[in-house]
Amino acid sequence: MTRPHASVELRARYAETDQMGIVYHSHYLVWCEVGRTDYMRRLGMAYTVLERDGMRLAVSEASLRFHAPARYDDLVRVETSVRDVRSRTVTFDYRIVHADTGTKLVTASTTLVSLDTTGKPVAFSPAFRERMLDGIPA
């Protein structure tokens, strides 16, 4: 990824695999969430802080493309970056690779919408948008 991004490593757990020892497809979305929350935390905007301040971020769209399987006990790296920030939505891109070989396993994206505490869409503050667009300092 050439945009500012955060990387986090995870090990594929037995409970995340199917009978063939391959990571079941839905678990990649969980791994994307791990990457996204780590990215936000590194920006100084942990979800706990956002929620305390009255902001909720709800996934409104998710997309996954599978390139190769992860297997039980594989060490994987989730690379997360911000693709786009609009008035009420932010889109994250993910690249999940085998940490040891660099093999691309999955590319994914999620779009999250900003909600207030009653669940109504609300615009991001200018400071939030700016911080998201600037990304994580190198």
Domain definitions of the chain by residue range = 5-134
Torsion sign over Cα 37, 43, 48, 54 = negative
Buried b / exposed e over 123-137, threshold 16 CB at 10 Å, is: ebeeebeebbeebbe
One of 18, 73, 84, 134 is an active-site residue; which one?
18
Two structure tokens written together for 13 = 């757990």
pTM for this predicted structure:
0.93
Residues 6+ apart with CB under 8 A from 2: none
What digits encode the pLDDT tens for the residues 22-55? Answer: 999 999 999 999 999 999 999 999 999 999 999 9
What digits encode the pLDDT tens for the residues 74-125? Answer: 999 999 999 999 999 999 999 999 999 999 999 999 999 999 999 999 999 9
E strand or H helix at 37: helix 27-42
Indicate the residue type of 32. C
53 tagged catalytic: no
Q: What's the pLDDT band for 134 if we cut at 50, 70, 90?
A: confident
What digits encode the pLDDT tens for the residues 65-86? Answer: 999 999 999 999 999 999 999 9
Q: Which fold has domain 5-134?
A: Thiol Ester Dehydrase; Chain A (3.10.129)
